[in-house]
Structure formats: structure tokens, C-alpha cells
Chains A and B, each alone.
Chain A
Amino acid sequence: MDIANLELDVSAMPAEFTLFRGEVSSDEWSTAAFAIAEDHGRLVSLWGNQRGDGTFVLSSVYDIGALIWLDLPLAKGSISYPDISGLFPSANRLQRAVGDLLGLEAAGAADSRPWLNHRMWPADYFPLRKANSGKEEFADDLADDYQFVQVLGDGVHEIAVGPVHAGIIEPGHFRFSVVGEKTLRLEERLGYTHKGVDKAFEQLFAVDGYRLAGRMSGDSTVAYAWSYCMSLENIWNWKLPERATWLRAIALERERIANHLGDLGALGNDAGFAFGLSQFMRLKEDVLRLNKKLFSHRFMMDYICPGGVERDVDADGLAVILAQCAVVEEEVRTLQKIYDDHSGLQDRFMTTGIVTFDVATKLGLTGMAGRASGIIHDVRIDASCAPYSKMDVHVSSRETGDVCARVDVRFDELFESLRLIRNLIGNLPMGAIRTEYVERGPEGSGAGWIEGWRGGIFTALYVDSKGQISRCHVHDPSWQNWPVIEYAVIGDIVPDFPLINKSFNLSYSGHDR
């Protein structure tokens, strides 16, 4: 889509990728959303902020080939803005979260139930308002009267699952309405792991925020830290040595490999094939152990830091990474063949949890799961920063949108990441791994966008003149993808839910924050 067609007053922002930003009026907020939806643009994120003068600003970011960041300043005393969830269903929960954290209302929204506030704090307390410190404590004697949508009819009953689940996984609540074994409707309720991260950011200096960003979702720590650092580096025009971005990319691809290995094993296990779990988890453990040796941490937490990376990898280390790539490649090829030839496994994978291209497009499915439904987007290509801009990343996609497709895309992406790592190591520039430490730069705001293993991780960062964070919004692709699971399970039997859920493997913590 051509940015000029939107007829908005936007200007290019300094960023690693193409980013336009501008202020809009309330009408323009709606018309832009309409035009972008018509043209199959995608909503990346939506959040709110309070300015120093007490007024509120609502912000949204769309992907229309380039990123476009719209700010809607509300008049003094106003807390209402036009709803866009009719055009972008994924905005529903984002708008409800803005309501819980900042007390703003999406006028005309069909669903205005609270989302993150489980009545653990009063309905008139808004943590992100500047007058509140975020340290307020409330007695938890408020009644939680969340209204689930009820399905009525002959033989319909409900199964309530969670927040504590059977295995070692994060907490969330799933309400199934079923007839016999068949799922008629699934309604999710999330927010259990909300721990006030947005407010916690506001107590940090910008140069320190990367550690907190790296703990939004532990399995994507590299992608989050990079996305955060990128936003800060953009604001302060902090140039990185080439070697640093190459090392960041090696870490990011290794994170993708580790997660895909774990998921492929778990998916086999959820279909009753324990062999897969033990084989893939063994390979994942090998990757994690090498991470510890070369990047100081099994998940590479705090490896990416503002201005570069914490530690160089020497020639011997690079050789070990290459050797591991060869082993993983060979082993996974063997395992892929076993998975593909296993009729019992394929029977569970195929036609289970289907998300068609149309549904995926309408709901804004994104990232790896999106590609399995034929939505061919990848931040590494769409908005490529160095070193991806100098590489040829092959995107994997499928049309079927079932569990099998999400398994296949994982296999493809794993091999692609191995190829990219070989490439990165082969062309690794010499030089420094970090530019000089900058404690404080000019005030401003900026964005970061990185393709984590789940999908694009977006950061909007606002830094004040003292070098402190005045607002930081980090967005996990799970916001888009959670609602899609409610559609993916329709018509499947309840026992298929764990398999379908695992095939997306979304983040609770990254979503709840």
C-alpha cells in the first residue's frame, strides 16, 4: 500500500526499517484504520500513554509494507477514542488492556469487559497514569465477576480449565463449551501473569531497560532484548559495529532453533509419540549447553545490550557452532523422516486445528503460525535490519493451516536458521562488538521490530531528557494469535486441544506482561 493514499500527515522516522509516524485526528484514526483494513494491512500493536500535561495519547502501529505509527492525542479531559476492533479483531483485547491500565474507552466497542484487571486492583485505579506510582497495594477482596459468553442448547456443557494446568506450563483459563467430545466454542481468559511490567519500565534508566525487556517471555529473550535495544539505539542514533549485529543475528537464530527443537519434540509427545520428545529435547539441551559456553547463559539472557553484545565469540567458538549445526541438521533430517513416515502421528497432525487463509487474514494471525496458514510475512524480510538486509532469507509457508503445517514450517525454519548461521559465520565482519557506552542521549521516542521465533516483537520506547524511560510498550505476537486458537479448535474434539495449543505455543507472560 502506498503511504500517500492514506492522505495523512506523516513523516519518516529514523529507524532500522521504514517507519512513518504522524499525529491524527479522531476521524483520521478511524478512516486510516478503514483504508488499511481494506488494503489488507495488518495491525501490529496498539497502546496508550499519558503526557506530562495530563492528556492522553493513543497510538497504533500498522504494517502496510512499511510500518506506520499513528498518534491520536485526546483533548484535555477526554478519555474516549474510536473503536477499531470491528476492523481489526486483534484490537479487541489490546483496547481492553488500554482500558485496564490507563482508563481510556474505545467508543462503540462491542466488548468492554476488563482484560488484564482480574479485580485484583480497583476498577478506578489505572497504574499507567502518571499520578500513580504503581506501588499501590490493594486488598484482594474485590469480587471477580468476569462474564464468559454462554452457549445454550440441548446437551451443551462447559469444561473449565486453568489457570493452573496439568503440566509445567504458564497459567491461563480456557472455557470450553462442548457437546459430547466436540468443541462448540472456546473462550480464553488471560492476564493471570500480569505483573505490572509497563509501569516497572518507568522506574528504569533507558540503558538498563534491556534486562527487563529480556524477561517478557523467557523463551524469546534474545528477540525482546534486540527489539528493545533497537528502539533505544534509534532514539539516540547509536550506531553499532557490524560484528555486533552479526552476533545478534547468530544468537537470534540459535534461539529460534532451540525453541523449534523443543516444540517439535513436544508436538510429537502431545500426539502420543514420546520418542520425539526425548530425541528433540536432547538436541535442544545440546544447543542450550553451547549457549552457556559461548554466550554465558543457556537462553542467552542479557547477551544483547544497548550498543552491541556482551561477549565476542572467537574462531574456536565459531567452529564449535558450525560443528553443532552439522550435527543438528543431520539428526533433524533423520527425525523429520521418522515424523513424516509415521502414519499414527500424521493422522493426529493433519486436518487438526485448521486456520484457513481467510480466517487467518481476517483475525490478523502473524509470525510462524501465520506462515503456516499462507500469510507470508517475516520481519527479517519485510523490515530487515542489518545483517538480514544483506542476506537472502527464505520464507517457509504452507496453505493448509493445520497442526501439520505448523510442524512443517518449524522444520523448514529450523533448517533455514542453520543455513543462516553458517552464512553469518562465513561472513562475520571483524572489529568491535559494542560501541562506546552512552549513558544519556536526547529525549525522544522510537521503535524496534524483530522477528522472534513466534513472530514480530515490537517495542515502542519513550525516553525523557534525564535518560529515563517515560513509557515502554513491548508487544508480543501472541496478542494477535491467542484469539485465533479460539477459532482453530472449533469442531475438533477436546482431547485435540493440547496438541492444537502446542502447535501455536503462544506466550502467556509476553501477553499478560
Chain B
Amino acid sequence: MMWPLIRQIAKVGIVTEKRPVAQEMENPKEIHDEILKILGRALTIREVDAGSCNGCELELNALGNVYYNLEGLGIKFVASPRHADMLLVTGPVARSMSHALAVTNEAMPDPKIVVAVGDCAINGGIFGTSYASLGGVSKALKVDLAIPGCPPEPIVILEGILTAVRYRMRPRTGEK
């Protein structure tokens, strides 16, 4: 049983890629160190789908695959908002999700970063604003950074996450 498994692992090898992000960040170790320097720990993210078509979720899940190896950078999606530094929101905010989104945000400790992922999260995108949709995430929460795309590709999301960490978390003021 074990041999075919090990053979397959050995055959594939390590396929994790260099991050094609900003020049100074090519080395995963540097990203790792920078996150450590800013946060003093791994970066933890709570994701909330506030009404997306699930396209953005596909790309967020792809970030975990071996090519991007998100966890290898010290970035982790967590189940509990109490453990999260960053709230990552996709989709237009469906009115029926606005309460759950607000409660998740409240449950997170300060300081926290709120990132809107995808065109819908920015302004409602193709779904716009209606009796059932509030539009972008900024209608419900204070957003620190928005990542455009329909859906944004994994590498773009990764760039956005790193940018948000750098610019929002550095002054650790603890403001709300």
C-alpha cells in the first residue's frame, strides 16, 4: 500500500513555485520573515462568502495547492474568527448574509484587517445593488484593501494579502 503512494510523491517532487510577486518578495523565506516581523506570528485568515457565485472560493482554495503553497508562507485559513488577523470577504453582500458577516467581524480581535476579494466584493459587480444585495463589502464593513478580478487569480489574491499585511498592520496602534 505505502509504496505506490511514496512513489507518486517522489515522482511529483516539490512543485511549489517562486512567488511571482513584487521583486523583493521572490524568496518565500523573505515573505515568511516579513510576516513574522510584522505580526510576530503566522498570519491567520477567516474567509466569509457573503454571497459570491463561488468563483472566488475556487481561487482561494487554489491558493492552498502545492504550486502556491500558502501555508508554507505562514499564512493559514482558520475556522474561528477569534483566531483570525484578517477577514477576507467575497461576493456582493447578500442582505441575508449581512448579519452573519457583521457577527464574524465583531468576533475578531483587534487590530484586524478586512480585505474585499473580487469585483462583487468591491461594488456588487455584475449583481449590483438590489432588494437582496447591499453591493460591495464597504457597505457593511470598513475595508482596508480590495482585490479586483472576476475572480482574481490566486497570485493576485496572494499579492493583495501581503500588501494588506504590510500597510495595515505595521503601525500596531490597536485602533478599531
Contact = CB atoms under 8 A, between A and B. Distances in A.
B36 interface: no
B8 A278 contact: no
Given A200-B128, A298-B153, A509-B52, A281 B65 contact: yes
A140 B98 contact: yes
Contacts of A334: 4, 8
Given A140-B99, A166-B79, A218-B58, A195 B51 contact: yes
A337 B55 contact: no
A191 B97 CA distance: 9
Nearest to A137: B131
A299 interface: yes
A120 B132 contact: yes
B96 A218 contact: no
A212 B94 contact: no
A135 B129 contact: yes
Contacts of A301: 55, 150
Contacts of B56: 218
A193 B52 contact: yes
Interface size of A as a range = 35 or more
Contacts of A168: 47, 49, 57, 60-61, 77
Nearest to B151: A218
A284 interface: yes
Contacts of A171: 48-51, 97, 100
A221 B55 CA distance: 9
B94 A194 contact: yes
Interface in B112-169: 126-133, 150-151, 153
Contacts of A211: 126
A81 to B, nearest CB: 24
Nearest to A302: B150
A341 B2 CA distance: 10
Contacts of B133: 195-196
Contacts, number: 162
A221 B59 CA distance: 14
A513 to B, nearest CB: 9
Given A200-B127, A215-B126, A275-B9, A281 B64 contact: yes
A121 interface: yes
A125 interface: yes
B97 A192 contact: yes
A353 interface: no
B66 interface: yes
Contact of A193 (B49, B65, B66): B49
Contact of B54 (A118, A120, A507): A507
A285 B92 contact: no
B62 interface: yes
Given A164-B104, A282-B67, A341 B1 contact: yes
Nearest to A224: B53
B146 to A, nearest CB: 18
Nearest to B91: A193
A127 B65 CA distance: 41
B65 A284 contact: yes
B70 to A, nearest CB: 11
A275 B9 CA distance: 8
A219 B48 contact: no
Given A281-B64, A298-B153, A193 B8 contact: no
A431 interface: no
Contacts of B12: 279, 282
Contacts of B99: 140
Minimum-distance CB pairs A-B, first 8: A218-B55, A196-B132, A166-B79, A120-B95, A281-B65, A196-B130, A118-B96, A195-B133
Given A196-B130, A341-B1, 7 more contacts: A168-B77, A170-B52, A194-B51, A199-B130, A284-B65, A301-B150, A509-B52
10 contacts: A121-B95, A138-B131, A164-B104, A168-B77, A169-B57, A170-B57, A217-B54, A218-B54, A282-B67, A284-B65
